[in-house]
Amino acid sequence: MASFKPTKIQIYPQLGAKVTQDTLYWKNYKAPVQVKEFGAITNIDFSPLAPHNYAVTASTRIHIYGPFSQEPVKTFTRFKDTAYSGRFRSDGQLLVAGCEDSVVRLFDVSGKVALRMFKGHTKAVHVADFTSDCYHILTCSDDYTCCLWDIPNSTELTKYKEHSDYIRCGATSKLNKDLFVTGSYDHTLKMFDARVQKSVMTMDHNHPVESVLFYPSEGLLVSAGGRYVKVWDLLKRGQPLVSLKNHHKTVTCLCLSGNGQRLLSASLDRHVKVYNTTNYKVVHSFDYTASILSLALAPEDESVVVGMTNGILSIKHRKTSEEKQGPTGQPRRQPVFRVFVKGRNCVPKQDDFLVSKSAKSHLAKYDKQLKRFNVSKALDTALEKNRKPEITVAVIKELDRRGTLKNALAGRDEQNLSQLVNFLIGNVVDPRFAPVLVTATEMILDIYKAVVGQSSVVDRQLVRLQELVEREIDYQQDLLEVLGMLDTLFASTLPRKEEVCREHAPVSYEISYFRGYP
Amino acid sequence: MVEHTGIRVVHRGGSKINFREPVITSDSRFLLCGSGESVKVYSTSTEECVHDLQGHTDLVTGVVLNPSNHLQAYSCSADGTVRLWDFTDGILIKTFIIRYHIFSIHVSEKHVGVLFVVVPMANEKELFQLVAVHLPRSGDPEVEVGELSAVLCDVSPNPGAVSFGTGGEYIAAAKGLQLEVFFFKKQKSYRFSLKSGMNKGINNSFTCISCHPKEDCIATGHADGKIRLWRNFNQKKEYTYSTLHWHHNAVNTLRFTPEGSTNLLSGGIESVLVQWRYTQENQKDFLPRLGAAITHIAVSPDGSLFCTSHADNKITIILSSVKVSAIIQGLVKDDCVRTDLMIDPRSKALVLNGKPGHLQFYSLHRDKQLYNLDIVQQEYIHEQGVDQFQVVKAAFDTHGDWLATVEERRQKSSELEINLKLWSYDEQTQSFVLNTTVTAPHEDQITAMCFSPSPETTLLVTTSLDGHFKAWLCQLAKKIESASWSCDFVGGYHLLKPGCCCFSADGSLLAFGFQEVVTVWSPTSWELLTTLSQPPGAVRDLCFGRLSCSKYLLGTSTKNQLCCWNLLTCSLEWNTPMDVSLLQADPFSENMAAFCSQSGSTDLFVFKPSEPRPLFSKKALCTGKVERAIFAPRDQMLESSEEYSQWLNRSQLYFLTQHMDLMTFSTKTEEDRLLASSKQLMVDDSVAITPFYLLLGRHKQQQQEKQELLTNPLAERTPLPQGSIAIKELLDTPAHVLPSASFLCSMFVRSLLVSSSSAR
């Protein structure tokens, strides 16, 4: 008596999913550590000094975390309202933060009380940053203005009133103490020189600007707004260089990797994308559980810190070299393990009588149904959510082989049928599944043509299916035309040898799937 | 052309063991079943064949135990005889000559000395009758039976449709829609008929019948899958029946288990053995997935063992706890062999497609199936009208490291599904392991497939009706498991359809038959070297010569041509008009075998391509076309010096006739050797075999032979003492196993004496 042979899931060759150096590099992080903050995390900034603490601005506080502890090492709570943009000075001694109450506060990292309070804005200050000479502070506010302040005597130096909407981002140059850039919700980026009283350069982003970033060389400027990330060439008077559209929601944050070779963008669509800065292709992407508001990388990419709208701070640390090798070498010896292994490594002695225990074979759910000849149920289990389409197609193929596909497809109510048609819409034009699913589609149309028009849901789906198939047929026709052109090209380039006719096989396969489809 | 009498065509194994119901002996140790022209005795515990009871000259159509002696069995045959055997010793006791074609045999304990056989009616061949044969008491080994008395007229020739009830009080037979019960005491028969369900689309005719061993109850199986239990049938009117229904197709066989716990066993095409509890029929036990449709069920007299015969020439032995304990598998012969016959280079087994979706490895020397290789690896659905995957092509490489198989399934409406699978040999498990699957390797049916014999590369070539041939190359890795296959080259010739392909013996040339044109390619550079053609007629088969004849390429065409091209001159060397259905090259010599069909029968010619005269020819080998043949290597070389049988020295030619009989050629020397070995076995049987006996017994035998020699006046000379077997044996055997010196001494001295008769 042979045992039941489970349905064979065909393995299709995977195209394009290659392991690159980048995926290896960016996957080499440990499982994330998650810390719950009080509100949405709007800014994260790493200290440039050695332990590389980082300041996390959320709600009315700024927490400073050490590189390894999950508990904040220091907290600044002297805010009347929501704090914004807590940033370190380049020597790591001072920290500046804006606030919803329009006051900008300057803290000593070791102290608690604000050293200076800069009052002059009339609305919330979302950006505050030090200039590269460490003596001035740049602030941008929702009152459409940006200001330069002097730290020693806490006076306002200059006020620029060029923007016509909230200013929500800004960056100071690390090389020149007088240069800084602001981005505003009036869709423009403006570059200012402290030595003159007005902007020196204006760039139009076309969307409310959420974040700006200088390249280390400061020849290029990156801005994020709407779903777009744009790169500008400052040396060519702000000419747009590239426009990237890889997110499907607003991009909120930008940062560069430690060596400046990769650009990272975070978005409300819960993804972080990593771009190669030479060709601006996405080389990797991270998924998070909620919309991302802030993102920072530790120096040398030692950790990736992401703050989200739901107040969760996610910290990923890079794996050290021994952890990278995985749990090889000495296996862990624990009592639990010993219990688990009990008797398994026992070798029978010569006189022992061996009683073999038949290994129980575990069948998948759909196989259990197939074994019982419950064809409809087998199809139902195969159509369950989150099943790979390969499995569903394999079950459909098996049912077809048994000659019972028609029975399995028939007798479905509106909900069941729409689920089925939905699956077909998703997969029928996939060249891997087309040969099987085209048969199934024809059968469904045959079975249910009598009841077309009774359900608006199914009718809508059928129309979609029809459109899809028509489009695919047009596409295949175009491909065939291209193939014909290629054939003539090949024929003319081949050496004149009349007997031999070579063909490029793989292309002709894909096309043959749709030949003969009505 | 000379006809040679020294070579005979003989049947070689592979006969059906599922033709009729097997019989389990009363001690449950042996299982008897008819197999072709002999009755085979198998051990139920070891599955080995213990005895082969030979004597019948035609198909054996039934085996039953002798009810008066449980160590004897009757067998009936289409040659018109019933033979009585002692199956434990394998001895023929008696032969009863009846002179009718016998279809089945039945016995009962109540009727001692009477056999019931089914024979055709005297005037009409299509109708059959059950007759009682009263066995004459006589001491002769061959007895003519004169006395036949008809019991029932118009019965079914199927042995399952006749059954004895309640220890032989009545006999029940079913045919068509009618059940007939004959009571021996009353000498009266009752007929019960069912209403035809044909107009409703139901075929409710009887297929099989079984009677309860103690109670008055008859179970009948029907073609629509129902089982009816008949009671109160000893009167015309008030009979009753109840219906059981589980089978969805015809019930092939039914059997009550003997008294004690009486159950009803049934089986059909679903290949599920169903055990119905008698009196509680809603309780059933199932034994599913037995492999193939059940054709017969037999139960041992004490009820401890069941066995089922299956359509794939298999007998399964099942314990009464419904667990399979042993499987006896014969050569599976479908209605046709789709794959060619092949020889596995490792095990030297014959390989062909067996059960659906399997390849079988069959040992020719032991007449036993070695193992089945599951090619399709899918659950087999036992239902009529389902398109199954079929293994259509298979090929081995020269060392047996790789096996390539092609399976296809043609659906009624849509296109063809083809899979090419490549299997690597695993030394550890001693079987083939799937390495690569190529789905849809071609767009149409694959017509031919062969491996390159060259040792450097592992290359497979497939040709298909889509007008292309493809070369598949193996990227060898350190381990054979991590090797992978990929398509290396796709080629064609004027969009003609290639029909066959063949590599030369060293693998440097590759020939394709593209309808009327033969193209010769170089497999290293994939250059077309030359084209050869001999119109009209498409090329059917191609074959390169070997060894000294490797410059020749032979081809056969559909328009009755056998051509031989010389590849050095690229010209036709010779051609002859004959309708060659199959051309086969011997891998161990230059010889070629050509099977030619001529006016309904097949002729065989064995020839060398370089010589005009055939080495051997045999007219009218068999009726019908021969489509499959193979040269199999011998395990022992023959040393025949006659010219006509030299071609059989190193290899043996097997072929399959139209009726799927596996035949081969045997020479005189081979038969002599076989006879000698069987004689020796007979002597060995009489005494228990111990190492000591082996030594002494042989001495005795030699003494006997010598005495014969002495008494024989024609013996011309005694062998020289140096070459004497006795001396050789004395010197070759280790000292510690030799008998005592005093015993040996007299024998040794006697062997040195020159006998008086030869000295004369």
Residue B213 belongs to a domain with what CATH number?
2.130.10.10
Find, among B301, B304, B307, the residue nearest to B326 by Cα.
B307
| CB within 8 Å: A403 and B385 | yes
Peptide bond between residue B136 and the one before it cis (omega within 30 degrees of 0): no
Q: Is residue B398 part of a domain?
A: no
- Which helix (H) or strand (E) covers residue A169, if one does? strand A167-172
- Which helix (H) or strand (E) covers residue A75, if one does? strand A72-76
Residue B159 reports pLDDT greater than 50 = yes
B132 and B168 fall within a common domain = no
Q: Confidence class of residue B260 from pLDDT cuts 50, 70 and 90?
A: low
pLDDT of residue B157: 84
pLDDT of residue B681: 46
B146 and B211 fall within a common domain = no
With a cut of 0.85, is the ipTM above it?
Answer: no
Q: Which residue of B324, B387, B414 is in closest CB contact with A439?
A: B414
Q: Which of B121, B155, B189 is the last residue of a domain?
A: B155
B205 vs chain A: nearest CA distance in angstroms? 27
Find, among A466, A398, A410, the residue nearest to A443 by Cα.
A410
A441 vs chain B: nearest CA distance in angstroms? 13
pLDDT tens-place string over residues B278-296:
888 788 888 888 888 899 9
B183 and B304 fall within a common domain = yes
B101 and B60 fall within a common domain = yes
| CB within 8 Å: A435 and B415 | yes
B174 and B315 fall within a common domain = yes
Q: Is residue B228 part of a domain?
A: yes
Nearest CA in chain A to B491: A502
The stretches in chain A having pLDDT less than 70 are 1-2, 15-17, 322-343, 495-518
B263 and B307 fall within a common domain = yes
pLDDT of residue A513: 42
- The Cα B656–Cα A336 span in angstroms is 63
Q: What percent of chain B has pLDDT over 90?
A: 13
| CB within 8 Å: A403 and B288 | no
Q: Is residue B568 part of a domain?
A: no
Nearest CA in chain A to B526: A500
Residue B751 reports pLDDT greater than 90 = no
pLDDT of residue A336: 60
Residue B759 reports pLDDT greater than 60 = no
β pairing state of B305-310 and B314-319: antiparallel
Expressed as residue numbers, the domain containing B22 is: 18-155
pLDDT tens-place string over residues B203-250:
888 999 998 888 888 999 998 889 999 888 877 778 888 898 988 888
Q: The tokens of B711 are what? A: 């008494």
Q: Confidence class of residue B266 from pLDDT cuts 50, 70 and 90?
A: very high
Fill in the amino acid letter for A456: S
B139 and B201 fall within a common domain = no
pLDDT of residue B439: 86
Q: Which residue of A1, A4, A435 is in closest CB contact with B379?
A: A4
Q: Which of B329, B349, B367 is the last residue of a domain?
A: B329
Nearest CA in chain B to A509: B443
CB B609 within 8 A of CB B552: yes
B150 and B169 fall within a common domain = no
**Region B621-634: what's the mean pLDDT?**
85
Q: Is residue B175 part of a domain?
A: yes
B230 and B262 fall within a common domain = yes
The CA–CA distances, whole Å, from B695 to A217, B197, B682, B732, B734 equal 101, 72, 16, 12, 11
B733 vs chain A: nearest CA distance in angstroms? 34
Mean pLDDT of chain B, nearest integer: 83
Rounded to 5°, angle at Cα B87 from B83 and B90? 90
Q: The tokens of B248 are what? A: 């969805």
Nearest CA in chain B to A3: B289
pLDDT of residue B239: 84
A503 vs chain B: nearest CA distance in angstroms? 7
pLDDT of residue A16: 63
| CB within 8 Å: B494 and A499 | yes
B215 and B249 fall within a common domain = yes
The DSSP-derived string for B664-719 is: EEE-HHHHHHHHHHHHHHHHHHHS---HHHHHHHHHHHHHHHHHHHHH-TT---PP
Number of domains in chain B: 2
Q: Which residues have a Cβ under 8 Å from the Cβ of A270 and sit 6 or more positions away?
A: A287, A288, A289, A290, A291, A292
A92 vs chain B: nearest CA distance in angstroms? 56
Q: Confidence class of residue B704 from pLDDT cuts 50, 70 and 90?
A: low
pLDDT tens-place string over residues A344-400:
777 878 888 888 777 777 888 999 999 888 999 999 999 887 788 899 999 998 998
Tell me the chain A residues in contact with residue B378 when contact means C-beta distances shorter than 8 Å. 5, 8, 398, 401
- The Cα A403–Cα A439 span in angstroms is 12
pLDDT of residue B235: 77
B84 and B191 fall within a common domain = no
**pTM here?**
0.66
Q: Which residues have a Cβ under 8 Å from the Cβ of B268 and sit 6 or more positions away?
A: B221, B225, B247, B249, B250, B251, B252, B253, B293, B294
Q: Is residue B34 part of a domain?
A: yes
Tell me the chain B residues in contact with residue A503 when contact means C-beta distances shorter than 8 Å. 468, 490, 492
Residue B121 reports pLDDT greater than 60 = yes
Nearest CA in chain B to A432: B439
pLDDT of residue B4: 54
- The Cα A37–Cα A54 span in angstroms is 14
Residue B725 reports pLDDT greater than 80 = no
pLDDT of residue A46: 92
> Chains A and B: how many Cβ contacts under 8 Å?
65
B127 and B259 fall within a common domain = no
Q: Which residue of B439, B443, B492 is in closest CB contact with A10?
A: B439
pLDDT of residue A323: 61
Q: Confidence class of residue B1 from pLDDT cuts 50, 70 and 90?
A: very low
Tell me the chain B residues in contact with residue A1 when contact means C-beta distances shorter than 8 Å. 287-290, 324
Q: Which of B123, B155, B187 is the last residue of a domain?
A: B155
Residue B684 reports pLDDT greater than 50 = no
Tell me the chain A residues in contact with residue B287 when contact means C-beta distances shorter than 8 Å. 1
A50 vs chain B: nearest CA distance in angstroms? 49
Q: Is residue B37 part of a domain?
A: yes
Name which residue leads in pLDDT, A417 or B671: A417
Nearest CA in chain A to B470: A505
Q: Is residue B55 part of a domain?
A: yes
Q: Is residue B319 part of a domain?
A: yes
Fill in the amino acid letter for A84: Y
Fill in the amino acid letter for B634: R
Residue B411 reports pLDDT greater than 80 = no
pLDDT of residue A504: 43
Helices (H), B36-88: none
